[in-house]
Amino acid sequence: MKKISSLIILLAVLFAVTNINAQPQMKVHVYGGYNVPLSGLGGNSNYPPSFTSGTSFDRFLYMKSGFNAGADFKYFLGKKRNIGLLLNAAYNGYNTGTFSNYTPAGPLDGGKVTLNDVRIGIGAEYDFLPLKKANPFVGIDLTGNFLSGKFTPATGTELTMNSASRFGLAVGAGVDIMFSKNVGVVIGAKFDFMNLIGQQDTSAGTGTATTYYLYDKSYTQTIGGTSYTYNAINMMDVQFYGGVTFAFGQPKKMVKK
């Protein structure tokens, strides 16, 4: 068993340091994976939340899980082609699961909220080992997040969220492993700040009997003569993904270091 493990490790090391002809001019990744909601997109175990101090109120969207599916296009520059311009698009879906610990019973008890995010990004990437079959990279994207969702109660009318647009920033890292000149696999992770720009408060609208708004900007509301401050919802997540790499424009000649 030890000999087999040692052989696998040795083969992995040899594969990682093996040269390819050169970085291709273009790559397309098709991928999918799991999202971990963080900060205001996620939530804590205490639902509903309580006032943190005085009349300041922290808010969460309580998303417990998510998934992603998408594709990106990369065009590489430079003699070694280690700097890439990228365009990506992905669908991200989140849900809260069923709210079951609201005491006393409230409007969300027994219900479920889903959130959809069509995310489009443009950015740049730096590749560390463009001449190797295993090529680690880091990147940064400017993102547009186009959001929709719904609340499905235990009984009664389903509510639809009015569509919203938010703009943010994503940073990530991963590794491209090429099996041939044209096909390989990619694995990686991204940390997304989803709503740095475009947050809205109640001035966005009041909703209707069947619709509601994503109020993610801080706002103040007066109830019974007391002013309550609802803090901003800072939406963040981590995407873990894996997929297939398709490479195009592979040089015919060996590129020297």
CA distance 127 to 132: 10
Domain of residue 121 covers 2-248
Within a domain: 128: yes
Whether 209 shows a pLDDT value over 50: the answer reads: yes
pLDDT confidence of residue 5: 45
Q: Is 255 inside any structural domain?
A: no
Contact 109, 96 (CB under 8 A): no
How confident is the model at residue 11, as a pLDDT? 41
Decide if pLDDT at 235 tops 50.
Answer: yes
Among 105-114, 142-151, 203-212, 248-257, which stretch is predicted with the lowest mean pLDDT? 248-257
User: What pLDDT is recorded for position 48?
Assistant: 58
The dihedral over CA atoms of 123, 126, 131, 134, expressed in degrees to the nearest 10, equals -90
Residue 220, domain member (yes or no): yes
Q: Is the dihedral of CA 24, 28, 30, 33 positive or negative?
A: positive
**Domain contains 143:** yes
Distance of CA 22 to the CA centre of its chain: 30
Residue 253 lies in a domain: no
Three-state SS letters, 146-161? EEEEEEECCCCCCEEE
Instruction: Summarize the confidence of residues 1-17 as an average pLDDT.
Output: 47
% residues pLDDT > 90 (the chain): 54
What's the whole-number average pLDDT of the chain?
A: 84
Segment 57-66, tens digit of pLDDT: 778 888 988 9
Q: Is residue 60 assigned to a domain?
A: yes
Q: Is residue 27 part of a domain?
A: yes
Residue 195, domain CATH = 2.40.160.20
| Amino acid letter, 205 | G
CA distance 27 to 23: 9
Residue 254 lies in a domain: no
What is the domain count for the chain? 1
Q: In the predicted model, is pLDDT for residue 207 greater than 50?
A: yes
Q: Which residue would you say has higher pLDDT here, 71 or 25?
A: 71
E strand intervals along the chain = 26-39, 51-53, 56-57, 65-77, 83-98, 112-127, 134-152, 159-178, 183-197, 211-212, 219-223, 226-230, 235-248
> Which of 37-46, 149-158, 177-186 is the most confident on average?
177-186
**CA–CA distance, 6 with 87 (Å, rounded to integer):** 40
Q: Is 134 helix (H, G, I), strand (E, B) or coil?
A: strand
pLDDT surpasses 50 at 12: no
